Structure 1
Amino acid sequence: MSTEASDSTAVPWSSSTVRVVFAATALAPLGVPLLSPALPVVREEFALTDATTSLLVSVYFLTGIVLSPFIGLLADRIGRKRVLVPSLVVFSLAGGAIALAPPFRVVLAVRLVQGTAAAGIFVTTVTLVGDAFEGVQRNAVLGVNTAVLASGAAVSPLLGGYLVTISWNAPFAAYLLGLPVALFAWVALEETAVEETPTRRGATYLRAAASNLARRAAVVPYATALVTEVLLFGTIITAMPFLLVGTYGVSPVFVGGVVTVAEAVSAAVAAANGRIATSLSDERIVAVGYACYGVGLLVAWWAATLPVLVAGVVVFGAGVGLTMPSVDALLSDLVSAEYRAGALSLRNSVTFLGRAVGPILFAGVAVETGYRPLLLAAGVVGFAGVAATLVLSGS
């Protein structure tokens, strides 16, 4: 697998790898942000509690938690393209099937299947970038990739908020957009040669990949991926729609607009990661991101008016834009290409764990506390992350 070494912060837009990765990444926000404004409508349609409704988000990530390492093994053994294309097809068809309005228990079962395919997309796209680029150019491409993700997450809630005004299941038709992306990936992406070695086999591979990561330097990126997703999906994706609707009586479209503003800021910050990385180490970028989590969530907790609450959400979004490209850059540097998909698949397991736990944790605890005290607690966690990152990285 060739690596394009460059000190340039420019993104090589002519690269077929870049184009495929960005196109596939643009689909990812259809997984959950598209549905965030629809949660209150789904709750009413099926007469559910907030916690039960949040399963629509959580179950999507359950299989990815367990299966991501094996998806990484598969991508390292048979190649990235042979995993990415089928994942795109299954993601699209499974999601589109829910537009047929099955019972809620069937919806959850199909979301499990769709989430498994989404894990394949997440693992292979970031691994492709790690294979093809290095240095600050890798940061630049990963930053724009995160920006594409955030931009899609900015548009998806608006689309979901509009579609759910038609019917609760209308947003799921949007998943069929994945089929032309799968065709594009099949045509445009070149498969890299995969050398079969004893270290690429089953448990031997997993042990070797784990030993490559059994060091202090791995704690920061994996812990940050977990904390980021717990806070993002617990507060912004799950708690915020219920808080906004319950406290301010806003419409699903307005809820989608709030998430959109936060994601737009995240996209702008992530796109600048390559330039930021020329001045700050990835560990310090992550620490600044944690500080944004703390400030943003404490502002949202303290807010007496809707505009101030939205301002807090925006600061949080900037933190996500700072941290996630640097997390992937740190992990890509930790291991050789032979184990890169494995390392990034473990990151995906941690990411999906955070996304599964966050909605259930926040919606469940809110039954006793309400949502605002949870914002205070989450803000404190953000500031604790600053200190932990600086200590663990030796900064």
Structure 2
Amino acid sequence: MRDTMSATGISTRPVLPLVFVATLTSIMGNSLLAPLIPDILDTFDRSDGSAGLLVAAASLPGIVMAPVIGLLADRFGRRPVLAPCLFVFGVAGIFVATAPSFEVMLVARFCLGVGAAGLVNLAVVLITDHFDGDARTHWIGANSGVLTVALATLPVVSGAIAAVAGWRWALAPLSLGVVSAAYAWRILPPGRPERQVSFREQLAGARQAFTDPAIRTSVVAAGVGFAVIFGVFLAALPTHLDDEFGLSAWGRGIVFGLPAVTASLAAFNLGRLRRRVGVDTVLIVAAVAWTSSFVLMGLAGSLVVLAIGALVYGIAEGALIPTLQDGAMSRAPSDQRAAVMAGWTAMARAGQTTGPLVAGLLLAGPGSSAALLSGAVGAGLLVVLFALRPVGRGVDAAREPDAGGENTAH
């Protein structure tokens, strides 16, 4: 990649590390937590049903805050919004790791969610600010690969730390958000967008953007997809591994690490894959694979079968999520990118919130196997959605004029 300057004055080379830092920080709150959930519930003498509440507490703020953060980022620029989000995340993370009670931990995780609400969408927006066409697809795929690998490997790190020093030290990396905030403030320029519009015009533009069929399909799929990821994989699977297979935090972390292998392969090769088979084929095949993975994990009688399901899960997620993000960004007007991605993230946060709550009810009732099988139902709904509401035609049409590379006109 050439070290060039965009119209915003940012070198494309340093902005990519910041993108990856923001993405990693955004998912630390749940990925570090996942293998620790049974131990935390034991510490505070809570039932398995509280697992969903613990996960959802950090997702709930994003439903409201993500759209607000997107509008602010389009109006005031990226730096004055991204840096404070990272700072709030880091400070709240300290309180999560040191919480003296379950109730305090829930409040701290809620504040953590306020900081995390804008991180994923702003990371994708930064990529879209600097790249077009195939280059944008490549880096969104790479960013999703980083996200997916982190979702799978951070639990391994967390479980290992917990096995040696306890779950509180395993959550200590959440405080690194403070350092990331300083880095963002140094890298990003202070400038506002050149074209200033009224808040009413900004809202009208955002509403107009969401009338695009490809954006609407992508946003709805984000809600369902993240309900499956956070409700089933991150909330229900740890309890399933503990109850059915007796795995410790270290063992649970290893299982969570398995999807990293296949997810990274899918995400980092997404551009090549899409050029060969098209957007809609990628989405439908990924959703079918996702459905199969949850059936395998939910019905697995051995760890080997469950591991195969986890590997298939990784392939599907690694292809699905970045394709949805790129689908939305391909159709978004340049002055509404943060707003569109914020709406996308708000729907994803709604899924992150409702998914764990539903999973908690299933864990408290039918059990962990039923919770995992509910993931197959959600993924199956995505198969139907993509078949009835194709994304590819709108995305491919938007890509034809900008098949170049780095974006130099903002």
Task: Report the TM-score when normalising by structure 2.
Answer: 0.88
Corresponding residue number in structure 2 for 1:8: none
Corresponding residue number in structure 2 for 1:61: 59
Corresponding residue number in structure 1 for 2:168: 169
Corresponding residue number in structure 1 for 2:384: 387
Cα offset for 1:392?
0.8
**CA distance in structure 1 between the partners assigned to 2:132 and 2:49 by the alignment:** 42
Cα offset for 1:164?
2.6
Of residues 225-234 and 94-103 in structure 1, the stretch that sits farther from structure 2 once superposed is 94-103
Corresponding residue number in structure 1 for 2:37: 39
**CA distance in structure 2 between the partners assigned to 1:221 and 1:185 by the alignment:** 28
- 3-state SS in 1 of match to 2:277: coil
Corresponding residue number in structure 1 for 2:134: 136
Amino acid in structure 2 at the alignment position of 1:112: F
Q: Describe the superposition over 1:326-367 as per-residue Cα deviations: whole angstroms up to 9, x where unpaired.
A: 111111111211111000001110111111111110121232
Of 24, 27, 32, which residue of structure 2 is paired with 1:26? 24
State whether residues 62 and 352 of structure 1, in contact with CA within 8 Å, keep that contact through their aligned partners in structure 2.
Answer: yes
Corresponding residue number in structure 2 for 1:344: 341
Q: Describe the superposition over 1:17-52 as per-residue Cα deviations: whole angstroms up to 9, x where unpaired.
A: 212111222222311010001100011111112222
Cα offset for 1:244?
0.9
**CA distance in structure 2 between the partners assigned to 1:143 and 1:265 by the alignment:** 13
Q: Does 1:112 align with 2:110?
A: yes
Of residues 300-309 and 326-335 in structure 1, the stretch that sits farther from structure 2 once superposed is 300-309
Q: Does 1:331 align with 2:336?
A: no
- 3-state SS in 1 of match to 2:235: helix
Compared with structure 1, are the counterparts of its residues 384 and 173 closer, same or farther at alpha carbon in structure 2 (3 Å cutoff)? closer
**CA distance in structure 2 between the partners assigned to 1:71 and 1:316 by the alignment:** 31
- 3-state SS in 2 of match to 1:283: helix
Cα offset for 1:217?
2.1
**CA distance in structure 2 between the partners assigned to 1:394 and 1:181 by the alignment:** 35
Corresponding residue number in structure 2 for 1:239: 236
Of residues 185-194 and 263-272 in structure 1, the stretch that sits farther from structure 2 once superposed is 185-194
Corresponding residue number in structure 1 for 2:267: 270
- 3-state SS in 2 of match to 1:278: helix
**CA distance in structure 1 between the partners assigned to 2:150 and 2:203 by the alignment:** 33
| Equivalent residue runs for 1:79-228 within 5 Å | 79-165=77-163, 166-199=165-198, 201=199, 203-228=200-225
Amino acid in structure 1 at the alignment position of 2:349: F
Amino acid in structure 2 at the alignment position of 1:59: A
CA RMSD across the alignment: 2.1
Corresponding residue number in structure 1 for 2:246: 249
**CA distance in structure 2 between the partners assigned to 1:99 and 1:276 by the alignment:** 41
**CA distance in structure 2 between the partners assigned to 1:313 and 1:32 by the alignment:** 18
Cα offset for 1:3?
7.5
**CA distance in structure 1 between the partners assigned to 2:381 and 2:113 by the alignment:** 31
**CA distance in structure 1 between the partners assigned to 2:121 and 2:382 by the alignment:** 25
Amino acid in structure 1 at the alignment position of 2:305: V
Of 43, 48, 51, which residue of structure 1 is paired with 2:49? 51
Compared with structure 1, are the counterparts of its residues 100 and 373 closer, same or farther at alpha carbon in structure 2 (3 Å cutoff)? closer
Compared with structure 1, are the counterparts of its residues 318 and 331 closer, same or farther at alpha carbon in structure 2 (3 Å cutoff)? same
**CA distance in structure 2 between the partners assigned to 1:252 and 1:23 by the alignment:** 25
Cα offset for 1:383?
3.1
State whether residues 290 and 385 of structure 1, in contact with CA within 8 Å, keep that contact through their aligned partners in structure 2.
Answer: yes
**CA distance in structure 2 between the partners assigned to 1:384 and 1:110 by the alignment:** 34
Amino acid in structure 1 at the alignment position of 2:292: V
Cα offset for 1:86?
1.3
**CA distance in structure 1 between the partners assigned to 2:25 and 2:197 by the alignment:** 35
State whether residues 73 and 338 of structure 2, in contact with CA within 8 Å, keep that contact through their aligned partners in structure 1.
Answer: yes
State whether residues 282 and 327 of structure 1, in contact with CA within 8 Å, keep that contact through their aligned partners in structure 2.
Answer: no
Of residues 229-238 and 335-344 in structure 1, the stretch that sits farther from structure 2 once superposed is 229-238
State whether residues 94 and 175 of structure 2, in contact with CA within 8 Å, keep that contact through their aligned partners in structure 1.
Answer: yes
Of residues 179-188 and 310-319 in structure 1, the stretch that sits farther from structure 2 once superposed is 179-188
Gaps (5+ residues) in structure 2? 393-410
Of 307, 320, 330, which residue of structure 2 is paired with 1:310? 307
**CA distance in structure 2 between the partners assigned to 1:104 and 1:288 by the alignment:** 41
Of residues 370-379 and 232-241 in structure 1, the stretch that sits farther from structure 2 once superposed is 370-379
Compared with structure 1, are the counterparts of its residues 260 and 249 closer, same or farther at alpha carbon in structure 2 (3 Å cutoff)? same
- 3-state SS in 1 of match to 2:31: coil
Give % identity: 28
Corresponding residue number in structure 2 for 1:367: 364
Count residues with an aligned counterpart.
385
State whether residues 48 and 363 of structure 2, in contact with CA within 8 Å, keep that contact through their aligned partners in structure 1.
Answer: no
Corresponding residue number in structure 2 for 1:301: 298
Cα offset for 1:122?
1.8
- 3-state SS in 2 of match to 1:15: helix
Task: Report the TM-score when normalising by structure 1.
Answer: 0.91
Amino acid in structure 1 at the alignment position of 2:248: S
**CA distance in structure 2 between the partners assigned to 1:282 and 1:130 by the alignment:** 18
**CA distance in structure 2 between the partners assigned to 1:138 and 1:224 by the alignment:** 21
Of residues 46-55 and 338-347 in structure 1, the stretch that sits farther from structure 2 once superposed is 46-55
Amino acid in structure 1 at the alignment position of 2:75: R
Cα offset for 1:248?
1.0
Cα offset for 1:251?
0.9
State whether residues 259 and 315 of structure 2, in contact with CA within 8 Å, keep that contact through their aligned partners in structure 1.
Answer: yes
Cα offset for 1:85?
1.1
**CA distance in structure 2 between the partners assigned to 1:312 and 1:209 by the alignment:** 39
